[in-house]
Amino acid sequence: MINIVLFGPPGSGKGTQAQFLIEKYNLKQISTGDLFRYNIKNNTELGVLAKSYIDKGELVPDQVTIDMLIDELKKPTTTEGFIFDGFPRTATQTKALEKIVAEVLNQPISICLSLIVEDQLLVERLLKRGETSGRTDDSNKEIIANRIQEYYSKTAEVAELYKQQGKYVEVIGVGEIEEISQKLFAEIDKIK
């Protein structure tokens, strides 16, 4: 089983690359955004709780997100591992994820893959995406720059924890999509 934490700032190509990893290694992607949408839409107990915070403009506590993650990992699956996307974002969440994966799957986090792209290129990519996506947060340079800085400030401690464990790998996320995929595959194949 392979359990991957996939990192990358907005515009790094994380979503695109996740699909290639899923196909090649038969993985299931767990995105915290998707978990929230599913639980809220289906009025689960956790969804109702999360919505109560969101409706007040508050951040959903880590424990609610963690409980959603546990529920998702306990669902039967025929996949050969997981890609965690959007979680963890803090040292506390990283430690919680490691504990959950060990307890629920009896497995460790295998690797943290981080896509590295220069900020200027991230801004260009997001502005281009904004032309067709309709996303307002992809059409304003200042908002984009803020999102990128927010990503770096929040995830630095997560990267540090995985570096200490020897599980953190940076992959340059610039070039042809297939070339980037091959670099990611090569890093995963080293640990298989």
Burial 26-61 (b: 16+ CB within 10 A, else e): ebebbbbeebbebbbeeeeebbebbeeeeeeeeebe
Three-class SS of residue 172?
A: strand
Domain span at 169: 2-181
- Look at residue 21 in the predicted model and tell me its pLDDT: 97
Three-class SS of residue 59?
A: coil
Is 94 contained in some domain? yes
Q: pLDDT band at residue 33, thresholds of 50, 70 and 90? A: confident
- Look at residue 151 in the predicted model and tell me its pLDDT: 87
Is 29 contained in some domain? yes
Is 189 contained in some domain? no
Is 191 contained in some domain? no
Is 186 contained in some domain? no
Ramachandran angles phi, psi of 42, nearest 5°: -90, 10
Is 37 contained in some domain? yes
Residues of the chain with pLDDT > 90, as a percent, come to 71
pTM: predicted TM-score of the whole model, two decimal places:
0.89
Is 151 contained in some domain? yes
- CB distance 91 to 157 below 8 Å: yes
Residues of the chain with pLDDT > 70, as a percent, come to 100
Beta bridge partners of 28: 82
- Look at residue 150 in the predicted model and tell me its pLDDT: 86
- Look at residue 58 in the predicted model and tell me its pLDDT: 84
Question: Residue 122 belongs to a domain with what CATH number?
Answer: 3.40.50.300
The count of domains in the chain is 1
